[in-house]
Structure formats: structure tokens, C-alpha cells
Amino acid sequence: MNVSIVPALKVLRPAAVVGAVAFFGLFVGYWANALLVPGTSPEQPIAFSHKVHAGDNDIPCMYCHTQARRSISAGVPSVSKCMGCHIEVATEKPQIRKLTSYWDNKEPIPWIKVHDLPDFVHFTHKRHISAGIECQTCHGPVETMERITVTSRAIDGSFQLGTPWEMGLCLNCHKQNEVDNGTDCWTCHK
């Protein structure tokens, strides 16, 4: 008796086509995701270096992020804050020229937000700074970064570049420091 494998293959052909398309789509999806969704270290409109400002020149964080100790959000400094120094300092560098053009056109710089919390989380910078928490505790070693990268912290205290924040980061710290009602859901959620 003659047994052929061909009819079986014919039946399987649609499944094989679907599988091939799915396999191809996986790569397309990965590429589209990397292209369209901002990553953990997006390229900013001006290549601002925290290393130069906060690291080498030792400018305190709250010289520019003035709202951090007064309000919920730390805030991004206005263009006039930048121009306060850069009207004199390093005016000939290409990145500063870009900054000056924003200043001349009276436009805000479209910075891309890197450290972002979901809308259901309530976090006040004011409360944490008045409790004496260093900025680096959550934001990582910013003074060494050329370009800001999302940084998380492991339980052992080591920084993990490129890892977004999770609830455990908040809870660990609240437990270690024995915050009043620190583990109540409505302390942080809203």
C-alpha cells in the first residue's frame, strides 16, 4: 500500500502560513515598539548633561528644580532659568545656541519626561524632601549621567539602570523607615 505524506502537508499549509506571518510580525512589532514608545533613556531636544551641571560643577539639584521642596512635582526649570547663566556662560557651544534660539523665539523646550508615575499614584516631592530623603535615593546617580536614564533600586540598595519604578521600591523604604501609616494603600494610591 502506498502511503503519501503530501495530503497531510496540504492540510497543514494554512497553519504554516499563519505561523510564518506571526513570526515575522513579532520582529515588526518589536521594531515598532522600540521606534515609537519612548524608552528608558530618550533623546532630549537639547543634549543636556546632568554630569556637567550637577556633577562637575556641583550645582545643587534644587537650584533648578526649585519646586521640589515646595510642591507635589519637582518641576522642570523654565528657559529663563537656563538663560540666567547661559546668557554669559559657554554661549558659543552648539547646544547652547539651540537653547538661545528657544529663548529668542519665546518657546518652551519640549523636554521628554523620563521619570513618570502612573496617574493613580499620589507622590509628593515636598513631603519626602522635608523628611530628608536624598534625590538620588529614587532617581539614581544623576550627577554621573550624561543623559537621564530611568533608575530603580534593588532591595540591597544597588542601582539598576533602565528599570522603571515599581510599588516595591516605595513599600520597602516605607517599611524600613517605619513611616506613619506607610503601608496603607490610600497613602500612595488615589
Partner 1 sequence: MSIFERFTEGWKKYRKPGYYREFDYHWAMTIDLDKCTGCEACVTACKAENNLPIVGEEEFAKGREVQWIRIERYWEGEYPNVKLGFIPMLCQHCDAAPCETVCPVSATYHNQDGLNTQIYNRCIGTRSCAVYCPFEVRYFNFNDHHWDSPLDQQLNPDVTVREKGVMEKCTFCIQRIRQAKDDAKDDGRRRVRDGEVQPACVQSCPSNALVFGDRKDPDSQVAKSMKDPRAYRVLEELNTDPSVVYLKKVDAKG
Total of residues contacting partner 1 (CB under 8 A):
13
Question: How many whole angstroms separate alpha carbon 71 and alpha carbon 128?
Answer: 11
- Tell me if 127 contacts partner 1 by CB under 8 A: yes
Residue 76 Cβ vs partner 1, minimum distance, rounded to whole Å:
17
Tally of CB atoms within 10 A around 170: 19
Query: Considering the rule CB under 8 A, would residue 120 count as an interface residue with partner 1?
Result: yes
Residue 174, CA distances (Å) to 45, 101, 154, 165 in order: 36, 44, 14, 15
| Closest to partner 1 by CB, 93 or 127 | 127
Enter the C-alpha cell of residue 9: 502537508
Q: Is 189 in the site for partner 1 (CB under 8 A)?
A: yes
Shortest separation between residue 9's beta carbon and partner 1, angstroms = 45
For residues 112 and 128, give the distance between their C-alpha atoms in angstroms, rounded to a whole number.
Answer: 24
Residues within the interface to partner 1 (CB under 8 A) = 119-120, 122, 124, 126-127, 130, 181, 184-186, 189-190
